[in-house]
Amino acid sequence: MLTKSIKTRRRAPGKAAGRAPGTGGWIERKVGALRILEASALSRIPWLIHGFSTRPGGVSDLGGEKVLNLGFAEWDRKENVLENRRRFQSAVDADDMVLCGLSQIHSDVVHVFEAPPAAPCRGDASATNRPDLLLAVQTADCVPILLVDSRNRTVAAVHAGWRGTLGRIVTKTIGKMQMQFGTKPADLLAAIGPSIGGCCYEVGTELAAEFRSQFANAADWFDELRTGDEPNPLQWLKMSPPGHQPPPKNVLLDLRQANRAQLLEAGLLPRNISVSGLCTACRRDLFFSYREEAGTAGRLMSVIGFRARAFARKICRQASGDGR
């Protein structure tokens, strides 16, 4: 299958850049009509399976467009979602693996799986050192983060919205890996997948105030760290009575940069963190965006796992000329 590099579409002047800092490249694989994104650093691990889904190539109908919706929704049929998931797992070469999703609740709850769960667990991150489990998180603007400890053959998948980021969910996931599997942060590789960027993610000043109260470096993640407590000179110029001044303007938050900073603080090496610069709100041709599409947005899926015999399978595929 052909592979190629992908680039961020430029935003119109006047908006902050959508690229988050990071090292390492990203590639796009085409498998039939599907387009799968991979972090190059993770793709070089022979036994690892991972991938970030995109919008095209599914059987779900969204406004007359066939899309790869991987989340159950009122606007979509269950059988369509199941077929989309089958296609996606096949595209990442994980047909025979057990998909381990979560009932995501925008929390800091991390689960460790030693076997497939009987039902989706409530939480927003999972980790395992067992083969044949395909950890998964769903997003439609939030930040998906995949972690791999190649020394101990351990993986994790994290869903980080603003609540999870504020609750340091990626830091707590690494802590679980340290306690359960003996992971050393310096050995970890991390891939921060496509999400809404600092170019488009507007939040209220009250949220900026929350971040500032929790993180000393929060100013680095906002275009302008205003908390709403700043004096408003217009109130005095216009002689407006107290309580009648206009509400403070929203600010732009870069969740990818915030999570990258947490990875660094946890002990990951900068060269081991790959950050996608693709914005889900900018690139609605390639992704779903909850903010842009409201209740009719589909769901992307980010997955990671491994099989005990994955290396042998990969060698066989290369020998037969199949580059997947």
For helices 169-181 and 255-266, give the axis angle rounded to 10 degrees.
Answer: 30
What pLDDT was estimated at residue 19? 38
Beta bridge partners of 5: 27
Sequence ranges of the domains in the chain: 16-198+273-320, 202-253
Contact present, 196 and 291 (Cβ < 8 Å): yes
Nearest of 122, 116, 159 to residue 138 by alpha carbon: 159
State both tokens at 293: 């599409």
Question: From the CA atom positions of the chain, what is the Rg in Å?
Answer: 20
Q: What value does the mean pLDDT take over residues 138-145?
A: 98
Residue 109's φ and ψ, nearest 5 degrees, are: -85, 130
Residue predicted with more confidence, 207 or 245:
207
Beta bridge partners of 50: 304
CA distance 141 to 139: 6
Nearest of 13, 22, 16, 10 to residue 224 by alpha carbon: 16
CA 284 to chain CA mean position, Å? 16
Q: What is the pTM of this model?
A: 0.86
Position 88 pLDDT exceeds 50: yes
First to last CA, the chain: 6
Contact present, 324 and 93 (Cβ < 8 Å): yes
List own/partner pairs for 7-12 with CB under 8 A and 24 or more apart.
Answer: 8/277, 8/278, 8/279, 8/282, 9/282, 9/283, 11/199, 11/279, 11/282
What residues contact 302, with CB distance under 8 A and at least 6 apart? 50, 51, 52, 53, 136, 137, 139, 144, 146, 157, 193
Q: Are strands 98-100 and 133-139 parallel, antiparallel or unpaired?
A: parallel
Tokens 């908006």 map to which residue? Answer: 15
DSSP code for 248: P
What residues contact 130, with CB distance under 8 A and at least 6 apart? 113, 114, 115
- Residues counted in the chain: 324
What pLDDT was estimated at residue 294? 80
- Work out the percent of the chain whose per-residue pLDDT is above 70: 81
Q: Which CATH number fits domain 16-198+273-320: 3.30.70.890, 1.10.357.10, 3.30.1360.120, 3.60.140.10?
A: 3.60.140.10
Whole-number mean pLDDT of the chain? 88
Q: pLDDT tens across 11-47, in order?
A: 333 333 333 444 449 999 999 999 999 999 999 999 9
What pLDDT was estimated at residue 321? 52
